[in-house]
Amino acid sequence: MVSAKRGSHGRLRFPFEDPVESLPTTARKILAAATTLLSERGYEALTLENVAAAAGVNKASIRYNFGNKAGLVMAVVDALIHDECLLLAAGTEALPEEERLHAAMVDIRRMIIDADWFRGFFDILPHAFRDPELRDRLSTLYVWWYRQNLKALGLAAPGAEDNDMLMGLAELIAAIPDGLSVQAGLNPEGFELTRPLATLEFLLRNSMAQLVEMAAEQAQAAEACA
């Protein structure tokens, strides 16, 4: 089961707390303005001048709340990925185990067709390769995303994160929306998402039991060697 908890307003909580919840009102306005600019105009539009104008604040307020542009970008990334994980959990946590896989595929499709979210993410991604701090942050968030994939599929048993087979599966599932979103973005009218996602669901459904069995054997072997 997903180990998320619900807050006082019914929102799911993870070990990675909501990065927006603790922000003061002005900081939330700035973050919302930056997220909109990113989705509509791209990374290059995230200047302090543009964000300040869109949020109706001055540049000093951005520096006070986020330090600089790099701090603001990391806050945007945190918020986007956190919200995606909330949606994934909300769509799978209450379902019977046999229905979770299909629900996860539905969620992947939703992520891919949410063009604004992926457009912003892919605008930021090239800069992460040149910015060590942003790269480390995204890498950490991906690890957290792997864990949520295992939880969504009901595979987050104790020791799962140390199991090569299960973590390999989580990494592959995390990579699939990235790759499919590129293809769908390049050919929005002609690329049919149903086909690869149906194939993925078929492959996982027919190999899940074997993967779990192999993971259990791996865990037993590791315990025997300990």
Give residue 15's pLDDT: 44
Give residue 2's pLDDT: 26
**Dist. CA 145–CA 16, nearest whole Å:** 11
**Dist. CA 90–CA 180, nearest whole Å:** 23
Return the residue matching tokens 């892919």: 122
Look up the pTM and report it: 0.72
**Dist. CA 24–CA 65, nearest whole Å:** 9
Given a cut of 90, whether residue 138 has pLDDT beyond it is no
Identify the architecture of domain 5-225 in CATH.
Orthogonal Bundle (1.10)
Give residue 18's pLDDT: 62
The string of pLDDT tens digits covering residues 151-180 is 878 787 777 777 888 888 889 988 988 899
**pLDDT confidence tier of residue 13, bands split at 50, 70 and 90:** very low
**Dist. CA 34–CA 27, nearest whole Å:** 10
Residue ranges per domain, the chain?
A: 5-225
Given a cut of 90, whether residue 63 has pLDDT beyond it is yes
Of the ranges 4-18, 39-53, 97-111, which is most confident? 39-53
**Dist. CA 3–CA 168, nearest whole Å:** 21
Structure tokens, 55: 């949020």
The string of pLDDT tens digits covering residues 202-212 is 998 888 888 77
**Dist. CA 217–CA 35, nearest whole Å:** 45
